[in-house]
Structure 1
Amino acid sequence: MTMDVIDLRNFYSQPLGVVARRLINRGIRAQWPQAKGLRVLGIGYPTPYLGLFREDSERCIAFMPAAQGVLKWPTSRPCLSTLVDEFSLPLPDAAVDRILLVHALEMSDDPAGLLREVWRILAPSGRMMAIIPNRRGVWTRTDKTPFGHGRPYSRSQITELLRQTWFTPSAWSEALFVPPIDGGWILRSAVAWERLSAAISSPFAGVHIVEATKQVYRAIPARRQRTRLIPALDPVLVPTPAPRRDEIGAP
């Protein structure tokens, strides 16, 4: 089920959403420390996180699926966001160096189709990063956050999906170990939650942060076609020809 863009904006304007954005940004920045001179694209609802790359990248734009809706981004500058068909992105092949998927795969009706389109527009040396709700995480147990909507994934499910769509996972991390409780001392101690849970390798993070590379050359195994032998059989029932008039005896 796709969330409306207004609901997503409202979540990230609340204290819980602010904390979630800060913690996920830490995970993104750890894997992509800079994007100087690169072409960066966000798909889904990536605008809370694209600010990491907007200043130093060559260009930074946001594609939002038609089923979700679109909001102007950034609000005080020329618009860099647009409404798209997620299975027919308006870019040529190999046009982007970095692609960030946020609230995209779990909300898509056809995640494999979306990833194949991402593969098409990603440069051969480019990298893709996806923020995906963890199937075992606490954040997927409540629908008060966007991470509780759509389909969550386990690590093995993500790996299988990426391999089916010609990607190779290259780096993994997690975020949102803190419980999704709005307000109070829990949010104030969110960073401590993250550090402690990461140190003990807790499996209950709210999201996976997975980076993948594009498989440019993919071997296609050749299969020998098996010939099926169909025996030629004579018909069992042969129709009897009608007698000719000269063969009919006189009465």
Structure 2
Amino acid sequence: MRTDALDIARFYRTPPGRAARDMVQRRIQALWPDVDGLDMLGFGYAPPFLEPFRDGARRTIAFMPAAQGAVPWPSQGVGKGGLTMLGDEQRFGFKEALFDRVILVHALEEAADPARLLREVWRVMAPEGRLLVIAAHRSGLWSRVDSTPFGHGRPFSRSQLGGLLSDALFEPVAWSRALYAPPWRFACGPKTVRAFESTGERLWPAFGGLILSEAVKHVGAVRPGGATQRVRRKSLEGATRPALSPRSDTTSHSDEQKGAS
């Protein structure tokens, strides 16, 4: 049973929710700095992470599973009107090869069949499309506290998530973790979170509360037994780990460009 969408929406209005949003958004925007003219889909509960892209992308849709319920996005009277839809997590109501960028958040942990969900995501993604999975990390504190949505369902290790992605014909190309601050209100102020994030990446990188992976849609010939024939593809931005690291306020513009290459 999925966490109710209203409960997730309330979480993102709390200090821990704002901390989660801000730390993940910094990584997404470092990874995908330019989405102009692209079609974007967020599945699970993605409005907090789609919002920065709404004006630049050609299309942004927040698709929420029926078992979770949905909330309107954007807020009434703002922007381009309703961009939320509700549907079956195992049968998306979209044609094939439609979306250039897909974000999965609050999605795999409580999915009835994660493998089937990922194959449906693969179906609606364009060739060379990019998928970003944001999931509760098995070794982090956030997966152990049920007062946040990340404490419900199954958390993942890097190897578990990588296996799921590969089996669904995605190729993981970048990894990162986020949320090193403990999931308590007093530890989630903006300055405190930034300090935890900076220290955590250097001193205990394996213990972030969230695990993030960028993967590319693999298009190839399927062999008997599930093996695939790899095909040549152009180089990807975000193919190195720094692409999923947050930008520092003191980082020079040239350094930012290196980190995103």
User: Which category of TM-score, normalised to the shorter sequence, fits these structures?
Assistant: 0.7 to 0.9
Structure-1 separation of matches of 2:205 and 2:59? 36
Shift, 1:51, TM fit: 0.9
Report which of the two has the higher share of helix.
Answer: 2
Q: Which amino acid aligns with 1:80?
A: L
Structure-2 separation of matches of 1:103 and 1:141? 15
SS for the counterpart of 1:106 is coil
Q: Which amino acid aligns with 1:106?
A: E
SS for the counterpart of 1:203 is helix
Q: Say if 1:98 and 1:191 are closer, same or farther in 2 by CA, change over 3 A.
A: same
Kindly indicate whether residue 205 of structure 2 is the aligned counterpart of residue 199 of structure 1.
no
Deviations 1:63-89 (A, max 9, x none): 000000011100133100010111111
List gaps (5 residues or longer) in structure 1: 224-251
Deviations 1:116-165 (A, max 9, x none): 00000000021000101100001011101011001000000011111111
Structure-1 separation of matches of 2:74 and 2:109? 25
Shift, 1:188, TM fit: 3.5
Which residue of 2 is the match for residue 12 of structure 1?
Answer: 12
Structure-2 separation of matches of 1:117 and 1:85? 10
Deviations 1:103-124 (A, max 9, x none): 0011101000100000000000
Kindly indicate whether residue 213 of structure 2 is the aligned counterpart of residue 210 of structure 1.
yes
Structure-2 separation of matches of 1:2 and 1:135? 18
Q: Say if 1:2 and 1:222 are closer, same or farther in 2 by CA, change over 3 A.
A: closer
Which residue of 1 is the match for residue 136 of structure 2?
Answer: 133
SS for the counterpart of 2:182 is coil
Shift, 1:91, TM fit: 0.7
Kindly indicate whether residue 31 of structure 2 is the aligned counterpart of residue 28 of structure 1.
no
SS for the counterpart of 1:191 is helix
Shift, 1:186, TM fit: 6.0
Which residue of 1 is the match for residue 173 of structure 2?
Answer: 170
Q: Which amino acid aligns with 1:216?
A: V
Structure-2 separation of matches of 1:185 and 1:65? 29
Q: Say if 1:72 and 1:197 are closer, same or farther in 2 by CA, change over 3 A.
A: same
Which residue of 2 is the match for residue 120 of structure 1?
Answer: 123
Which residue of 2 is the match for residue 152 of structure 1?
Answer: 155
Structure-2 separation of matches of 1:151 and 1:177? 19
Q: Which amino acid aligns with 1:138?
A: L
SS for the counterpart of 1:107 is coil
Structure-1 separation of matches of 2:89 and 2:222? 27
Q: Name which of structure 1's ranges 2-11 and 22-31 shifts more when overlaid on structure 2.
A: 22-31
Q: Which aligned pairs between 1:233-248 and structure 2 lie closer than 5 A? A: none
Structure-2 separation of matches of 1:186 and 1:19? 7
Kindly indicate whether residue 70 of structure 2 is the aligned counterpart of residue 67 of structure 1.
no
Aligned length: 223
Structure-1 separation of matches of 2:208 and 2:216? 23
Q: Which amino acid aligns with 2:52?
A: L
Shift, 1:184, TM fit: 5.4
Structure-2 separation of matches of 1:112 and 1:184? 35
8 A contact 1:43–1:99 mirrored in 2: yes
Q: Name which of structure 1's ranges 150-159 and 24-33 shifts more when overlaid on structure 2.
A: 24-33
Percent of residue pairs bearing the same amino acid type: 45
Per the normalisation by structure 1, the TM-score is: 0.85
List gaps (5 residues or longer) in structure 2: 227-261
Per the normalisation by structure 2, the TM-score is: 0.82
SS for the counterpart of 2:40 is strand
8 A contact 2:70–2:84 mirrored in 1: yes
Structure-2 separation of matches of 1:43 and 1:14? 22
Shift, 1:12, TM fit: 0.5
8 A contact 1:166–1:218 mirrored in 2: no
SS for the counterpart of 2:185 is coil
